[in-house]
Amino acid sequence: MGIECLVLGAGQEVGKSCVVVTINGKRIMFDCGMHMGYLDHRRYPEFSLIPNSQDFSDSISCIIITHFHLDHVGALPYFTEVCGYSGPIFMTYPTKALAPLMLEDYRKVMVDRRGEEEQFSSEHIVRCLKKVTAVDLKQTVQVDKDIQICAYYAGHVLGAAMFYVKVGNSAVVYTGDYNMTPDRHLGAAQIDRLQLDLVITESTYATTYRDSKYVREREFLKVVHKCVAGGGKVLIPTFALGRAQELCMLLHDYWERMNLQVPIYFSAGLTIQANMYYKILINWTSQKVKDTHATRNAFDFKNVISFDRSLINAPGPCVLFATPGMISGGFSLEVFRHWAPYEENLVTLPGYCVAGTIGHKLMSAKIPTQIQLDEDVQIDVRCQIHQLSFSPHTDAKGIMDLVKFLSPKHVILVHGEKPKMATLKEKIESELGIQCRYPANNETVCIPSTHHVKAGASDAFLQSCLCPNFKFFKTDFERGSDLDDDFPQGDECCSTVQPGEEGR
Protein backbone atom coordinates (compact mmCIF):
# COMPACT_ATOMS: atom_id res chain seq x y z
CA MET A 1 0.00 0.00 0.00
CA GLY A 2 1.31 3.41 -0.92
CA ILE A 3 0.28 6.99 -0.36
CA GLU A 4 -2.35 8.21 -2.80
CA CYS A 5 -2.83 11.93 -3.34
CA LEU A 6 -5.96 13.08 -5.08
CA VAL A 7 -5.66 16.78 -5.82
CA LEU A 8 -9.17 18.26 -5.88
CA GLY A 9 -8.09 21.88 -5.92
CA ALA A 10 -5.05 24.16 -6.12
CA GLY A 11 -3.50 21.76 -8.61
CA GLN A 12 -1.44 23.91 -10.97
CA GLU A 13 -3.52 26.92 -9.89
CA VAL A 14 -4.22 29.14 -6.89
CA GLY A 15 -7.70 28.62 -5.48
CA LYS A 16 -9.93 26.08 -3.70
CA SER A 17 -7.17 24.16 -1.93
CA CYS A 18 -8.22 20.56 -1.32
CA VAL A 19 -5.99 17.49 -1.32
CA VAL A 20 -7.30 14.07 -0.35
CA VAL A 21 -4.50 11.82 0.84
CA THR A 22 -4.95 8.11 1.43
CA ILE A 23 -2.27 6.65 3.69
CA ASN A 24 -2.30 3.00 4.62
CA GLY A 25 -6.03 2.83 4.01
CA LYS A 26 -6.92 5.97 5.96
CA ARG A 27 -8.23 8.92 3.96
CA ILE A 28 -7.54 12.47 5.11
CA MET A 29 -8.77 15.66 3.46
CA PHE A 30 -6.42 18.62 3.73
CA ASP A 31 -8.31 21.91 3.34
CA CYS A 32 -11.74 22.30 1.84
CA GLY A 33 -11.49 25.53 -0.08
CA MET A 34 -13.53 27.53 -2.50
CA HIS A 35 -12.41 29.13 -5.76
CA MET A 36 -13.12 32.83 -5.65
CA GLY A 37 -12.79 33.23 -9.40
CA TYR A 38 -15.76 31.02 -10.35
CA LEU A 39 -19.44 31.19 -9.63
CA ASP A 40 -20.46 27.89 -11.21
CA HIS A 41 -19.77 24.33 -10.04
CA ARG A 42 -16.04 24.92 -10.48
CA ARG A 43 -15.98 26.96 -7.30
CA TYR A 44 -16.10 23.76 -5.21
CA PRO A 45 -13.69 20.83 -5.34
CA GLU A 46 -15.03 17.89 -7.35
CA PHE A 47 -15.99 15.87 -4.26
CA SER A 48 -17.57 13.10 -6.33
CA LEU A 49 -14.07 11.92 -7.28
CA ILE A 50 -13.45 10.78 -3.72
CA PRO A 51 -13.83 7.00 -3.59
CA ASN A 52 -17.08 5.86 -2.02
CA SER A 53 -18.49 9.34 -2.41
CA GLN A 54 -22.04 8.35 -1.49
CA ASP A 55 -20.92 8.23 2.13
CA PHE A 56 -18.18 10.77 2.84
CA SER A 57 -18.27 10.14 6.58
CA ASP A 58 -17.32 6.56 5.91
CA SER A 59 -14.72 7.19 3.24
CA ILE A 60 -12.92 10.10 4.91
CA SER A 61 -11.29 9.62 8.32
CA CYS A 62 -10.85 13.31 9.07
CA ILE A 63 -10.62 16.80 7.57
CA ILE A 64 -7.79 19.15 8.44
CA ILE A 65 -8.09 22.89 7.72
CA THR A 66 -4.87 24.90 7.71
CA HIS A 67 -6.17 28.47 8.00
CA PHE A 68 -9.19 30.73 7.71
CA HIS A 69 -8.77 31.96 4.14
CA LEU A 70 -11.75 31.10 1.99
CA ASP A 71 -9.68 29.29 -0.59
CA HIS A 72 -8.86 26.86 2.24
CA VAL A 73 -12.09 26.69 4.26
CA GLY A 74 -14.76 28.12 1.95
CA ALA A 75 -16.32 24.82 0.91
CA LEU A 76 -16.41 23.30 4.38
CA PRO A 77 -20.01 24.24 5.34
CA TYR A 78 -21.14 22.96 1.95
CA PHE A 79 -19.27 19.69 2.45
CA THR A 80 -20.56 19.05 5.98
CA GLU A 81 -24.09 20.42 5.76
CA VAL A 82 -25.00 19.76 2.13
CA CYS A 83 -22.78 16.79 1.19
CA GLY A 84 -23.30 15.27 4.63
CA TYR A 85 -19.81 14.69 5.94
CA SER A 86 -20.10 14.19 9.70
CA GLY A 87 -16.64 12.92 10.71
CA PRO A 88 -13.99 14.76 12.68
CA ILE A 89 -12.64 18.14 11.52
CA PHE A 90 -9.53 19.75 12.95
CA MET A 91 -8.24 23.32 12.84
CA THR A 92 -6.37 25.59 15.23
CA TYR A 93 -8.18 27.74 17.80
CA PRO A 94 -7.80 30.99 15.84
CA THR A 95 -8.99 29.34 12.65
CA LYS A 96 -12.07 28.00 14.42
CA ALA A 97 -12.76 31.48 15.81
CA LEU A 98 -12.11 33.45 12.62
CA ALA A 99 -13.31 31.11 9.85
CA PRO A 100 -17.00 31.74 10.60
CA LEU A 101 -16.44 35.50 10.21
CA MET A 102 -14.94 34.93 6.78
CA LEU A 103 -17.64 32.48 5.75
CA GLU A 104 -20.47 34.68 6.94
CA ASP A 105 -18.97 37.72 5.26
CA TYR A 106 -18.68 35.82 1.99
CA ARG A 107 -22.20 34.42 2.25
CA LYS A 108 -23.60 37.90 2.78
CA VAL A 109 -21.73 39.29 -0.19
CA MET A 110 -22.95 36.49 -2.42
CA VAL A 111 -26.56 36.57 -1.31
CA ASP A 112 -27.18 40.18 -0.37
CA ARG A 113 -25.11 41.97 -2.96
CA ARG A 114 -25.27 39.68 -5.92
CA GLY A 115 -28.68 38.28 -5.15
CA GLU A 116 -27.37 34.83 -5.74
CA GLU A 117 -29.02 31.68 -4.52
CA GLU A 118 -27.21 30.71 -1.38
CA GLN A 119 -25.02 27.63 -1.32
CA PHE A 120 -25.09 27.48 2.44
CA SER A 121 -26.87 29.46 5.13
CA SER A 122 -25.76 31.14 8.36
CA GLU A 123 -27.26 28.19 10.14
CA HIS A 124 -25.06 25.88 8.07
CA ILE A 125 -21.96 27.80 9.07
CA VAL A 126 -22.82 27.61 12.75
CA ARG A 127 -23.67 23.91 12.60
CA CYS A 128 -20.54 23.16 10.60
CA LEU A 129 -18.21 24.95 13.01
CA LYS A 130 -19.81 23.12 15.97
CA LYS A 131 -18.33 19.91 14.55
CA VAL A 132 -14.82 21.31 14.55
CA THR A 133 -12.25 20.24 17.11
CA ALA A 134 -9.84 23.07 17.88
CA VAL A 135 -6.20 22.11 18.33
CA ASP A 136 -3.20 23.89 19.77
CA LEU A 137 0.21 24.04 18.14
CA LYS A 138 2.37 20.99 18.82
CA GLN A 139 -0.48 19.25 20.58
CA THR A 140 -0.49 15.65 19.36
CA VAL A 141 -3.99 14.44 18.58
CA GLN A 142 -4.82 10.78 18.25
CA VAL A 143 -7.66 10.88 15.74
CA ASP A 144 -8.22 7.16 15.91
CA LYS A 145 -5.99 4.30 16.86
CA ASP A 146 -3.89 4.67 13.70
CA ILE A 147 -3.92 8.38 12.86
CA GLN A 148 -1.90 10.94 14.77
CA ILE A 149 -1.82 14.61 13.80
CA CYS A 150 0.12 17.61 15.00
CA ALA A 151 -0.04 21.29 14.01
CA TYR A 152 3.01 23.51 13.53
CA TYR A 153 3.20 27.29 13.25
CA ALA A 154 2.98 28.49 9.64
CA GLY A 155 2.99 32.30 9.88
CA HIS A 156 0.89 33.52 6.91
CA VAL A 157 -2.22 34.57 8.89
CA LEU A 158 -3.25 34.30 12.52
CA GLY A 159 -3.71 30.62 13.37
CA ALA A 160 -2.28 29.26 10.12
CA ALA A 161 -0.72 25.87 10.64
CA MET A 162 1.17 23.18 8.79
CA PHE A 163 -0.09 19.73 9.67
CA TYR A 164 1.87 16.59 10.30
CA VAL A 165 -0.11 13.39 9.84
CA LYS A 166 1.16 9.96 10.70
CA VAL A 167 -0.67 6.77 9.84
CA GLY A 168 1.15 3.65 10.93
CA ASN A 169 4.74 4.22 9.92
CA SER A 170 3.99 6.60 7.06
CA ALA A 171 4.00 10.32 7.60
CA VAL A 172 3.08 13.40 5.59
CA VAL A 173 3.31 17.15 6.11
CA TYR A 174 0.79 19.40 4.39
CA THR A 175 1.98 22.99 4.67
CA GLY A 176 -1.06 25.02 3.67
CA ASP A 177 0.06 28.60 3.07
CA TYR A 178 3.12 29.64 5.05
CA ASN A 179 5.64 32.38 5.49
CA MET A 180 9.26 31.74 6.32
CA THR A 181 9.97 35.31 7.38
CA PRO A 182 8.26 36.99 10.32
CA ASP A 183 6.10 40.02 9.63
CA ARG A 184 4.82 42.84 11.79
CA HIS A 185 2.45 40.67 13.78
CA LEU A 186 3.26 37.02 13.03
CA GLY A 187 6.31 34.87 13.51
CA ALA A 188 8.01 32.72 10.88
CA ALA A 189 6.94 29.17 10.17
CA GLN A 190 8.42 26.66 12.58
CA ILE A 191 8.52 22.90 12.42
CA ASP A 192 10.45 19.98 13.90
CA ARG A 193 12.72 17.73 11.89
CA LEU A 194 10.47 14.82 11.06
CA GLN A 195 10.74 11.48 9.33
CA LEU A 196 8.56 12.04 6.27
CA ASP A 197 7.45 10.20 3.17
CA LEU A 198 5.84 13.22 1.61
CA VAL A 199 5.64 16.99 1.89
CA ILE A 200 2.79 18.75 0.11
CA THR A 201 3.77 22.39 -0.11
CA GLU A 202 2.27 25.57 -1.47
CA SER A 203 4.25 27.24 -4.25
CA THR A 204 2.59 30.62 -4.81
CA TYR A 205 5.96 32.28 -5.28
CA ALA A 206 7.74 29.28 -6.80
CA THR A 207 10.27 31.37 -8.67
CA THR A 208 10.22 34.70 -6.81
CA TYR A 209 13.11 35.77 -4.60
CA ARG A 210 12.05 38.72 -2.51
CA ASP A 211 14.12 41.52 -1.18
CA SER A 212 13.75 42.95 2.26
CA LYS A 213 10.23 43.51 3.42
CA TYR A 214 11.48 46.34 5.58
CA VAL A 215 12.10 48.48 2.51
CA ARG A 216 8.59 47.95 1.23
CA GLU A 217 7.08 48.76 4.64
CA ARG A 218 9.05 51.97 4.78
CA GLU A 219 7.80 52.91 1.34
CA PHE A 220 4.21 52.41 2.46
CA LEU A 221 4.69 54.52 5.60
CA LYS A 222 6.38 57.25 3.60
CA VAL A 223 3.53 57.68 1.13
CA VAL A 224 0.92 57.60 3.88
CA HIS A 225 2.81 60.14 5.97
CA LYS A 226 3.33 62.41 2.97
CA CYS A 227 -0.35 62.32 2.15
CA VAL A 228 -1.63 63.16 5.65
CA ALA A 229 1.09 65.78 6.09
CA GLY A 230 -0.32 67.46 3.01
CA GLY A 231 -3.81 67.35 4.53
CA GLY A 232 -5.00 64.39 2.42
CA LYS A 233 -7.15 61.44 3.32
CA VAL A 234 -5.83 57.89 3.02
CA LEU A 235 -8.17 55.07 2.09
CA ILE A 236 -6.83 51.59 2.83
CA PRO A 237 -9.27 49.08 1.38
CA THR A 238 -8.52 45.76 3.04
CA PHE A 239 -9.83 42.41 4.04
CA ALA A 240 -11.13 42.48 7.60
CA LEU A 241 -8.72 39.89 8.88
CA GLY A 242 -4.98 39.62 8.66
CA ARG A 243 -3.72 42.37 6.45
CA ALA A 244 -5.81 45.00 8.23
CA GLN A 245 -4.23 44.14 11.57
CA GLU A 246 -0.74 43.99 10.13
CA LEU A 247 -1.01 47.39 8.43
CA CYS A 248 -2.71 48.88 11.44
CA MET A 249 0.12 47.76 13.72
CA LEU A 250 2.60 49.20 11.30
CA LEU A 251 0.81 52.56 11.21
CA HIS A 252 0.10 52.58 14.92
CA ASP A 253 3.77 52.06 15.81
CA TYR A 254 4.77 54.72 13.30
CA TRP A 255 2.19 57.16 14.67
CA GLU A 256 3.58 56.70 18.18
CA ARG A 257 7.16 57.06 17.01
CA MET A 258 6.48 60.18 14.97
CA ASN A 259 3.94 61.47 17.48
CA LEU A 260 1.29 61.99 14.82
CA GLN A 261 -2.19 63.09 15.86
CA VAL A 262 -4.01 62.34 12.60
CA PRO A 263 -6.93 59.99 13.33
CA ILE A 264 -6.89 56.37 12.14
CA TYR A 265 -10.34 54.90 11.56
CA PHE A 266 -11.66 51.39 11.13
CA SER A 267 -14.80 51.12 9.10
CA ALA A 268 -16.75 47.97 9.72
CA GLY A 269 -17.89 46.50 13.00
CA LEU A 270 -16.42 43.33 11.65
CA THR A 271 -12.93 44.70 11.87
CA ILE A 272 -13.37 45.96 15.42
CA GLN A 273 -14.70 42.52 16.30
CA ALA A 274 -11.73 40.95 14.54
CA ASN A 275 -9.37 43.07 16.62
CA MET A 276 -10.97 41.59 19.74
CA TYR A 277 -10.18 38.09 18.47
CA TYR A 278 -6.63 39.14 17.78
CA LYS A 279 -6.33 40.43 21.33
CA ILE A 280 -7.45 37.14 22.86
CA LEU A 281 -5.34 35.10 20.47
CA ILE A 282 -2.19 37.11 21.00
CA ASN A 283 -0.24 33.96 21.84
CA TRP A 284 -0.44 33.07 18.17
CA THR A 285 1.36 36.21 17.04
CA SER A 286 5.07 36.95 16.95
CA GLN A 287 7.31 36.68 19.98
CA LYS A 288 7.72 40.43 20.14
CA VAL A 289 4.01 41.07 20.24
CA LYS A 290 3.59 38.37 22.90
CA ASP A 291 6.38 39.71 25.08
CA THR A 292 4.79 43.10 25.36
CA HIS A 293 1.20 42.01 25.91
CA ALA A 294 1.18 42.50 29.70
CA THR A 295 2.08 46.15 29.41
CA ARG A 296 0.15 46.82 26.24
CA ASN A 297 -1.73 44.45 23.99
CA ALA A 298 -0.46 45.23 20.51
CA PHE A 299 -3.96 44.87 19.12
CA ASP A 300 -5.29 47.43 21.54
CA PHE A 301 -5.05 50.18 18.92
CA LYS A 302 -5.65 53.11 21.18
CA ASN A 303 -5.35 55.64 18.39
CA VAL A 304 -7.85 53.78 16.28
CA ILE A 305 -11.39 55.01 16.24
CA SER A 306 -14.43 53.51 14.65
CA PHE A 307 -15.59 55.40 11.56
CA ASP A 308 -18.91 57.01 10.98
CA ARG A 309 -20.43 57.87 7.61
CA SER A 310 -20.71 61.52 8.61
CA LEU A 311 -16.91 61.68 8.73
CA ILE A 312 -16.52 60.98 5.02
CA ASN A 313 -16.61 64.65 4.13
CA ALA A 314 -15.26 65.99 7.40
CA PRO A 315 -12.35 68.37 6.92
CA GLY A 316 -8.74 67.44 7.63
CA PRO A 317 -6.50 64.47 7.05
CA CYS A 318 -7.24 60.92 8.24
CA VAL A 319 -6.49 57.29 7.55
CA LEU A 320 -9.36 54.87 7.01
CA PHE A 321 -9.37 51.07 6.86
CA ALA A 322 -12.43 49.88 4.97
CA THR A 323 -13.67 46.57 3.56
CA PRO A 324 -13.72 45.01 1.00
CA GLY A 325 -10.10 44.96 -0.10
CA MET A 326 -10.46 45.13 -3.85
CA ILE A 327 -13.05 47.95 -3.78
CA SER A 328 -15.53 45.55 -5.35
CA GLY A 329 -18.45 47.19 -3.55
CA GLY A 330 -19.53 48.00 -0.03
CA PHE A 331 -18.08 50.70 2.15
CA SER A 332 -14.64 50.97 0.57
CA LEU A 333 -16.34 51.79 -2.74
CA GLU A 334 -18.64 54.34 -1.13
CA VAL A 335 -15.68 56.19 0.40
CA PHE A 336 -13.65 55.82 -2.79
CA ARG A 337 -16.32 57.70 -4.73
CA HIS A 338 -15.96 60.65 -2.39
CA TRP A 339 -12.21 60.74 -2.04
CA ALA A 340 -10.90 59.69 -5.47
CA PRO A 341 -11.48 63.01 -7.25
CA TYR A 342 -8.98 64.92 -5.04
CA GLU A 343 -5.31 64.70 -5.80
CA GLU A 344 -4.18 65.20 -2.19
CA ASN A 345 -5.85 61.91 -1.23
CA LEU A 346 -4.29 58.45 -1.39
CA VAL A 347 -5.72 55.00 -2.06
CA THR A 348 -3.66 51.88 -1.37
CA LEU A 349 -4.29 48.66 -3.24
CA PRO A 350 -3.65 45.10 -2.11
CA GLY A 351 -0.97 43.12 -3.95
CA TYR A 352 -3.52 41.16 -5.89
CA CYS A 353 -6.90 42.22 -7.29
CA VAL A 354 -9.42 40.03 -9.10
CA ALA A 355 -10.35 41.12 -12.63
CA GLY A 356 -13.54 43.17 -12.75
CA THR A 357 -13.01 45.00 -9.47
CA ILE A 358 -12.23 48.71 -9.20
CA GLY A 359 -8.96 47.71 -7.57
CA HIS A 360 -7.98 45.79 -10.68
CA LYS A 361 -8.83 48.73 -12.94
CA LEU A 362 -6.80 51.12 -10.81
CA MET A 363 -3.76 48.85 -10.93
CA SER A 364 -3.25 49.49 -14.61
CA ALA A 365 -4.72 52.99 -14.77
CA LYS A 366 -2.81 56.17 -15.49
CA ILE A 367 -3.84 58.95 -13.12
CA PRO A 368 -5.80 61.15 -13.74
CA THR A 369 -8.39 58.86 -15.23
CA GLN A 370 -12.08 58.16 -15.22
CA ILE A 371 -13.65 54.99 -13.97
CA GLN A 372 -17.07 53.81 -15.03
CA LEU A 373 -19.03 52.44 -12.03
CA ASP A 374 -22.21 51.61 -13.94
CA GLU A 375 -24.13 53.10 -16.87
CA ASP A 376 -24.77 56.45 -15.23
CA VAL A 377 -21.99 56.82 -12.71
CA GLN A 378 -18.48 57.75 -13.60
CA ILE A 379 -15.78 58.86 -11.18
CA ASP A 380 -12.89 61.16 -11.87
CA VAL A 381 -9.83 59.64 -10.25
CA ARG A 382 -7.14 62.15 -9.44
CA CYS A 383 -5.91 60.73 -6.12
CA GLN A 384 -2.60 58.96 -5.71
CA ILE A 385 -2.50 55.19 -5.92
CA HIS A 386 -0.04 53.01 -4.00
CA GLN A 387 0.10 49.29 -4.51
CA LEU A 388 1.20 47.23 -1.49
CA SER A 389 3.77 44.66 -2.31
CA PHE A 390 4.22 42.60 0.81
CA SER A 391 2.77 39.16 0.82
CA PRO A 392 2.29 36.65 3.61
CA HIS A 393 3.54 33.77 1.45
CA THR A 394 7.02 32.30 1.47
CA ASP A 395 9.27 32.95 -1.50
CA ALA A 396 11.17 30.32 -3.48
CA LYS A 397 14.11 30.35 -1.11
CA GLY A 398 11.77 29.67 1.79
CA ILE A 399 10.21 26.70 0.02
CA MET A 400 13.62 25.26 -0.81
CA ASP A 401 14.80 25.81 2.78
CA LEU A 402 11.77 24.05 4.21
CA VAL A 403 11.98 21.09 1.83
CA LYS A 404 15.68 20.75 2.49
CA PHE A 405 15.16 20.89 6.23
CA LEU A 406 12.41 18.29 6.22
CA SER A 407 14.13 16.12 3.58
CA PRO A 408 11.08 14.01 2.77
CA LYS A 409 11.22 11.16 0.29
CA HIS A 410 8.80 12.97 -2.04
CA VAL A 411 7.45 16.45 -2.62
CA ILE A 412 4.16 17.49 -4.19
CA LEU A 413 3.64 21.12 -5.18
CA VAL A 414 0.20 22.72 -5.04
CA HIS A 415 -1.20 26.27 -4.89
CA GLY A 416 0.92 27.78 -7.65
CA GLU A 417 1.13 28.54 -11.36
CA LYS A 418 2.05 25.67 -13.65
CA PRO A 419 5.15 27.03 -15.43
CA LYS A 420 6.65 28.28 -12.19
CA MET A 421 5.90 24.98 -10.50
CA ALA A 422 7.77 23.20 -13.28
CA THR A 423 10.84 25.33 -12.63
CA LEU A 424 10.68 24.71 -8.89
CA LYS A 425 10.23 20.97 -9.43
CA GLU A 426 13.43 20.88 -11.49
CA LYS A 427 15.24 22.76 -8.78
CA ILE A 428 14.04 20.46 -5.99
CA GLU A 429 14.97 17.36 -7.96
CA SER A 430 18.37 18.56 -9.13
CA GLU A 431 19.52 20.44 -6.05
CA LEU A 432 18.00 18.34 -3.29
CA GLY A 433 17.69 15.00 -5.06
CA ILE A 434 14.09 14.64 -3.91
CA GLN A 435 11.40 13.43 -6.29
CA CYS A 436 8.84 16.13 -6.94
CA ARG A 437 5.45 16.23 -8.66
CA TYR A 438 2.87 18.95 -9.33
CA PRO A 439 -0.37 17.22 -10.33
CA ALA A 440 -3.24 19.05 -12.01
CA ASN A 441 -6.70 19.24 -10.47
CA ASN A 442 -8.52 15.91 -10.18
CA GLU A 443 -5.32 14.00 -10.82
CA THR A 444 -4.12 11.25 -8.46
CA VAL A 445 -0.47 10.72 -7.65
CA CYS A 446 0.80 7.58 -5.93
CA ILE A 447 4.00 7.39 -3.98
CA PRO A 448 5.36 4.46 -1.99
CA SER A 449 4.87 4.55 1.76
CA THR A 450 7.08 3.40 4.57
CA HIS A 451 6.29 0.18 6.33
CA HIS A 452 7.88 -1.31 9.35
CA VAL A 453 7.86 -4.79 10.78
CA LYS A 454 7.23 -4.77 14.49
CA ALA A 455 9.76 -6.74 16.48
CA GLY A 456 10.84 -7.17 20.06
CA ALA A 457 14.42 -6.27 20.89
CA SER A 458 16.24 -7.56 23.95
CA ASP A 459 18.20 -5.18 26.13
CA ALA A 460 21.38 -6.99 25.17
CA PHE A 461 20.71 -6.46 21.48
CA LEU A 462 20.01 -2.77 21.89
CA GLN A 463 22.98 -2.26 24.13
CA SER A 464 25.36 -3.90 21.73
CA CYS A 465 23.92 -1.87 18.85
CA LEU A 466 23.96 1.48 20.51
CA CYS A 467 27.17 3.31 20.51
CA PRO A 468 27.44 5.40 23.64
CA ASN A 469 28.68 8.42 21.72
CA PHE A 470 25.37 10.17 21.21
CA LYS A 471 25.22 13.28 19.14
CA PHE A 472 22.63 15.84 20.21
CA PHE A 473 21.45 18.36 17.77
CA LYS A 474 18.80 21.02 17.64
CA THR A 475 16.04 20.13 15.27
CA ASP A 476 13.99 23.25 15.36
CA PHE A 477 14.02 25.17 12.22
CA GLU A 478 13.93 28.84 11.74
CA ARG A 479 15.37 30.92 9.05
CA GLY A 480 16.99 34.18 9.86
CA SER A 481 15.64 37.21 8.09
CA ASP A 482 16.28 40.79 7.42
CA LEU A 483 14.12 41.59 10.41
CA ASP A 484 16.08 39.54 12.91
CA ASP A 485 16.63 42.36 15.33
CA ASP A 486 13.04 43.45 15.27
CA PHE A 487 11.70 39.97 15.84
CA PRO A 488 13.43 37.88 18.41
CA GLN A 489 12.87 34.25 17.51
CA GLY A 490 10.97 31.77 19.60
CA ASP A 491 13.05 29.81 22.00
CA GLU A 492 11.17 26.54 22.07
CA CYS A 493 13.13 23.69 20.71
CA CYS A 494 13.18 19.97 20.75
CA SER A 495 16.10 17.66 20.49
CA THR A 496 16.31 14.24 19.05
CA VAL A 497 19.07 11.77 19.49
CA GLN A 498 20.60 9.50 16.97
CA PRO A 499 23.34 7.03 17.52
CA GLY A 500 26.54 8.66 16.48
CA GLU A 501 27.69 5.69 14.52
CA GLU A 502 26.11 2.97 12.61
CA GLY A 503 24.94 0.19 14.86
CA ARG A 504 25.37 -3.36 13.75
Partner 1 sequence: MVQMGDNLVVGCHCTADVKDCMLKVESLKYAEEACYNGILIIKAFSSGLEIGSCNWSITSPKGSIGYISSSVFSPVVAMSFNYKAFQRSDVILCSDFSSCNAPDKYDDDNNCSDPPGDDFSSSSDGDVNAEESAMLLSSDEYLEEMEKLDFICSCSMDSIKAGGSVLIPIGRLGIILQLLERFALALASEDMKVPIFVVSSVAEELMAFTNIIPEWLCNQLQDRLFSGQPLFTHMEMLKDGRLFLFPALHSLKLLKIWQEPCIVFCPHWSLRLGPVIHLLRRWSKDKNSLLVMEEGVDASLALLPFKPMEMKVIQCSFLSGMQLQKSHRLLKILQPKHVLFPEVLKQDDGPSETSFPFSYYSENKTLHIPYAKEDSELDIEIELACRLQYMTLKQKDMNVSRLKGELVVERGSYRLSLGNDKLMSSQTGPVLYFGKIDLNGFLMELQKKGMKFTVDEVKGDRGSHKAYLVHVLEPGEALIELREAQTLISTADENLASLISQAVCGVLDCI
Residues near partner 1 (CB under 8 A) are 93, 96-97, 100, 129, 134, 136-141, 169, 195, 273, 276-277, 279-283, 293-294, 297, 450-459, 462, 465-466, 470, 492, 494-499, 502-504
Say which entry of partner 1, Zn ion, none residue 297 contacts (CB below 5 to 8 A, set by partner kind).
Answer: partner 1
Each as own residue / partner, the long-range contacts of residues 458-463 (CB below 8 Å, 24 or more positions apart, any chain) are: none
Element (H, E) at 338: helix 330-339
Q: Indicate whether 217 belongs to the interface with Zn ion (CB under 5 A).
A: no
SS3 367: coil
Residues serving a catalytic function are 202
Q: Residue 72 and residue 161: Cα distance in Å, rounded? A: 12
Taking the least distance from each CB to Zn ion, the nearer of 68 and 331 is 68
Taking the least distance from each CB to partner 1, the nearer of 389 and 475 is 475
Rounded least distance, CB 15 to Zn ion, Å: 11
Q: Indicate whether 177 belongs to the interface with Zn ion (CB under 5 A).
A: yes
Each as own residue / partner, the long-range contacts of residues 493-500 (CB below 8 Å, 24 or more positions apart, any chain) are: 494/192, 496/193, 497/470, 497/471, 497/472, 498/470, 498/471, 499/465, 499/466, 499/467, 499/470, 500/467, 500/469, 500/470, 500/471
Count of beta carbons in the 10 Å neighbourhood of residue 154: 30
- Of 26, 43, 69, 410, which one interacts with Zn ion (CB under 5 A)? 69
Taking the least distance from each CB to partner 1, the nearer of 130 and 257 is 130
Buried b / exposed e across 43-63, counting CB within 10 Å, b at 16+? bbbbbeebeeeeebeebbbbb
Say which entry of partner 1, Zn ion, none residue 1 contacts (CB below 5 to 8 A, set by partner kind).
Answer: none
Say which entry of Zn ion, partner 1, none residue 486 contacts (CB below 5 to 8 A, set by partner kind).
Answer: none
Say which entry of Zn ion, partner 1, none residue 69 contacts (CB below 5 to 8 A, set by partner kind).
Answer: Zn ion
SS3 135: strand
Rounded least distance, CB 34 to Zn ion, Å: 12
Candidates 62-70, 219-227, 336-344, 464-472; binding stretch for Zn ion (CB under 5 A):
62-70
Rounded least distance, CB 388 to partner 1, Å: 28
Candidates 124-132, 169-177, 380-388, 456-464; binding stretch for Zn ion (CB under 5 A):
169-177
Rounded least distance, CB 445 to partner 1, Å: 21
Rounded least distance, CB 400 to Zn ion, Å: 20
Taking the least distance from each CB to partner 1, the nearer of 271 and 441 is 271
Taking the least distance from each CB to partner 1, the nearer of 75 and 282 is 282
Rounded least distance, CB 85 to partner 1, Å: 20
Taking the least distance from each CB to partner 1, the nearer of 297 and 389 is 297
Buried b / exposed e across 417-437, counting CB within 10 Å, b at 16+? eeebbbebbebbeeeeebebb
User: In the β-sheet with 435-437, what is the strand arrangement from edge to edge?
Assistant: 147-153, 161-167, 170-174, 198-202, 410-414, 435-437
Say which entry of Zn ion, partner 1, none residue 503 contacts (CB below 5 to 8 A, set by partner kind).
Answer: partner 1
Candidates 174-182, 198-206, 287-295, 443-451; binding stretch for Zn ion (CB under 5 A):
174-182
Taking the least distance from each CB to partner 1, the nearer of 258 and 466 is 466
Rounded least distance, CB 472 to partner 1, Å: 9
CA-based radius of gyration for the chain: 24
Q: Residue 74 and residue 169: Cα distance in Å, rounded? A: 32
CB 488 within 8 A of CB 478: no
Q: Residue 343 and residue 468: Cα distance in Å, rounded? A: 74
- Which DSSP state fits 439? P
Please report, as ranges, the residues that interact with Zn ion according to CB under 5 A.
69, 177
